[in-house]
Amino acid sequence: MLYLTNMLGRPVLDSTGEKLGVVSDVAISTGEVFPRITSLAFRGPGRTPFMISWRKYVEEFDDDSVRLNTEKHNIRFSYLQPSEVLLARDLLDQQIVDTQGLKLVRVNDLKLSPSGTQLRLLGAEVGIRGILRGLHPLLERAVVAAAKLFGRKIDEKIIAWNYMDLLDRDLSKVSLSVTHKRLDELHPADVADILEQLDPKQRAEVFKHLDAAQTAEVIAELEDEFQAETIDDMSATEASRMLGQMDPDDAADIIRDLPYEKAETLLRLMGVEDATEIRRLLGYREDTAGGMMTTQFVALSEKDTVGDAIEVLRGLDEDFPTVHFVYVLDDESDKLIGVMSLRTLVLAQNDTPLGDAMFTEIITCLPDADEEEVAEDISKYNLVALPVVDEAGIMLGIVTVDDAMEVMEENAEEEASDLAGKVMLGCIAGLLFLAVYTIVVLYIAGVM
């Protein structure tokens, strides 16, 4: 195997052995899973840059030099093509996204695979060996050998090219192959994990390559501090449009943390329906069922039929949250009186009234119920969603299991943090006691 850092600085010789310069870079075309080296860049006399076709002119290469197949006066120089990337300039020492490991990494070297006179890029070295090799190959070998003496092994950390995604596309002018697993193909939660590792400028670059719906989904998955930063980087028009794309409960959570003036500006710029839903949710405290719930659910009258319910479900927008139940309301008072699972709907006859097929034993909660109690009920009764009703039994929304899981995770983290603090204090107290005890013993023994 060959590495880019090993190639840089090698002499470039023509067919007569005359030195034309030293290797400064190599280029690849990004349209392949493991792309071939397409161009050789080298510096000639006076550090003048030149570029030539690798396939057309390179005869052979080894640890000492790159030899061309013709004399220097027969060489025709070329230019970097739009689909090409210079490895040293555009990738080496740059931050990339490892879309397999879902993390931000730095390219310390690039691994190449020889095949005759051709070279292919296998991937990026992101481990310590790439750093050592970049300083000097002998240093890498020495450290690896020393580690082996102590029974340790320092492995390469290679990310295959098809799992790499460039952050700064505008700089490199790269259009990655469709075979790549790109950021916009990942789950929004995975993209959010990656974005939290970037600085604000890099996050903004990534958002440019996501559409409005993807942006809304990703921002909903970000931690609160990153949501606030992202909103601050947007214009008011962009932010309001993005919040309008989100589920009302997620949008309300974000707006709740904004300064009052900015929150009001964004709400005024939204559509009336979206703003009304969000304002309604903002009326509840954050740590209550009302603050957790979403108002997006499917509810029908007890006189509606199974066929009516199925038609309503078929007519939902694609971005409507996942529906697990159809809630049944009293025809006169709109009180919640029953629920039907999708399984029940599928098995029932189309002309059956919902009131005849619904399940009437429903677990509900009030909007001011504490979020921890709500999460406990969802866990205790194995619920996918818990209806929220007012004092009169009117349905207001639902708390879904994913929101309950977030509450439980936050509580677990707080408990773990408290436990760690207590353990630390206990250790410090123990050490202090041991120190005092030692001093006392030495004093009694006459040593001090």
437, amino acid identity: Y
Mean pLDDT of 10-18: 94
pLDDT (tens digit per residue) in 330-343: 988 889 999 999 99
In degrees, to the nearest 5, what angle opens at C-alpha 203 toward C-alphas 199 and 208? 155
Where does the pLDDT of residue 314 fall: very low under 50, low under 70, confident under 90, or very high at 90 and above?
very high
Burial class, 285, CB count within 10 angstroms (exposed 0-12 / middle 13-18 / buried 19+)? middle
Contact 74, 14 (CB under 8 A): no
pLDDT at 443 over 70: no
DSSP string across 195-234 = HTTS-HHHHHHHHTTS-HHHHHHHHHHS-HHHHHHHHHHS
**Which of the two residues, 105 and 269, has the higher pLDDT score?**
269
Question: Which pLDDT score is estimated for 177?
Answer: 31
Question: Which pLDDT score is estimated for 207?
Answer: 80
**Which of the two residues, 445 and 262, has the higher pLDDT score?**
262
pLDDT (tens digit per residue) in 163-184: 665 544 443 433 333 233 456 6
Where does the pLDDT of residue 144 fall: very low under 50, low under 70, confident under 90, or very high at 90 and above?
confident
Print burial letters for 93-126: b (CB count within 10 Å at least 16), e (below 16): ebebbbbeebebbebbbbbbeeeeeebbbbbbbb
pLDDT (tens digit per residue) in 63-119: 789 999 999 999 999 988 887 889 998 888 887 766 666 667 788 999 888 876 788
Residue among 165, 239, 167 nearest 202 (CA): 167
Mean pLDDT of 427-436: 66
pLDDT (tens digit per residue) in 26-38: 998 876 767 889 9
Mean pLDDT of 278-287: 91
pLDDT (tens digit per residue) in 316-329: 987 787 788 999 99
Question: Which pLDDT score is estimated for 165?
Answer: 56
DSSP string across 297-320 = --EEETTSBHHHHHHHHHTS-TTS
Question: Which pLDDT score is estimated for 92?
Answer: 87
Where does the pLDDT of residue 442 fall: very low under 50, low under 70, confident under 90, or very high at 90 and above?
low
**Which of the two residues, 402 and 421, has the higher pLDDT score?**
402
Question: Which pLDDT score is estimated for 338?
Answer: 95
What is the C-alpha separation between 233 and 162, in angstroms, rounded? Answer: 31
pLDDT (tens digit per residue) in 201-256: 767 777 877 788 888 888 988 888 888 888 888 889 989 988 988 888 889 989 98
What percentage of the chain reaches a pLDDT higher than 90? 40
pLDDT (tens digit per residue) in 355-401: 999 999 999 999 999 999 999 999 899 999 999 999 999 999 999 99
Question: Which pLDDT score is estimated for 423?
Answer: 65
What is the C-alpha separation between 243 and 231, in angstroms, rounded? Answer: 10
